[in-house]
Amino acid sequence: MLQTLVYGRDRIRFMESLVVGDIAELKPGQGTLTLLTNEKGGITDDLIVTNTSEDHLYVVSNAACADKDLAILRDRAAQLQATGRDVHLEVSDNALLALQGPSMARVLQAGLSDDLAKLSFMNSISTTVFGVPGCRVTRCGYTGEDGVEISVPTARAVELAEQLLGVPDVWLAGLAARDSLRLEAGLCLYGNDIDETVTPAEAGLMWTLGKRRRVAMDFPGAAVIMAQVKEKPRRRRVGLTSVGPAIRPHMAILGPEGRPVGTVTSGCPSPCLGKNIAMGYVEAAHSRAGTELTVEVRKKQHPAVITKMPFVPTQYYMAK
């Protein structure tokens, strides 16, 4: 993952000129999922932006989008600097470890002096983890489960990973496990479910737009996105469940008359539910939960039902 630190008095103005979220409203240590958009309203990337307690923003971008995201960030910073604004970037070379699941808090608390019970979902602290200083622990992770992402100095990343793996409840998990978890939680995968041809309105991600930002319409693609909200998008991201062969990306979704009405963007058998789950885009007229459609799998049609997401309830932790 690309990890970028944004410094300067105008760091909020800088970030809000690129993303749809209300970064100014974030409390110290609080973060949010937000979207980097283009002038056509498409999603260039989904990011987590944290307003740290150390007077800078901490931005985490998808690794696959690192080069284009960094180019956009640097170009915009240069534009603002040329007008006298105070903003500058620092790219972190830290590694990022994700510790996810119901045992996370118990496992990690043993290596922290900070009280994890006080750290809510999407909040972040700078701390020492199992004797490794200079770490940032953020209570998040793209699994739908309670978890943390630990930004750790690269030179000691293997050491920390080995310490965590020394705990019986901690196991290595591959990207396939993470992918099934994020799909069960109804979370988008960039490049599959969202990309530069998809808008927040179509993707069902309008909740990422702050109310103030909607009124100001001062983010890239605002006119296109807000027009779609008013007129209703022609296609919508939906969840699907089915039995039989697994549903996979790029498979056609067919309406009652056998006409293509959409396309699958993600799909796999759900380990938790014991049936197939998928995500895709369909014409708005076919997007209501409970609508019966079919999916074409190896030239055969199999029944599928539009299903509300998340498929499996999320377990995000909120401090009391």
| Residues in binding site | 149
Q: Are 148 and 98 in contact (CB under 8 A)?
A: yes
Q: Is the peptide bond before 271 cis (omega within 30 degrees of 0)?
A: no
Q: Are 26 and 181 in contact (CB under 8 A)?
A: no
- Strand-strand pairing, 124-129 and 88-92: unpaired
- Strand-strand pairing, 147-152 and 235-242: unpaired
Query: What is the rounded CA–CA span in Å between residue 32 and residue 139?
Result: 11
First to last CA, the chain: 31
- Structure letter (DSSP) for residue 168: T
Q: Are 193 and 237 in contact (CB under 8 A)?
A: yes
Q: Are 167 and 261 in contact (CB under 8 A)?
A: no
Binding positions for substrate are: 149
In 3D, which of 219, 214, 277, 289 has the Cα closest to residue 246?
Answer: 277
Q: Which amino acid is at 28?
A: P
- Structure letter (DSSP) for residue 123: B
Burial tier of 13 (Cβ tally within 10 Å: 0-12, 13-18, 19+): middle
Residue 316: C-alpha distances to residues 108, 129, 139, 169 (Å) = 16, 21, 9, 19
Residue 299 makes CB contacts below 8 A (sequence gap 6+) with: none
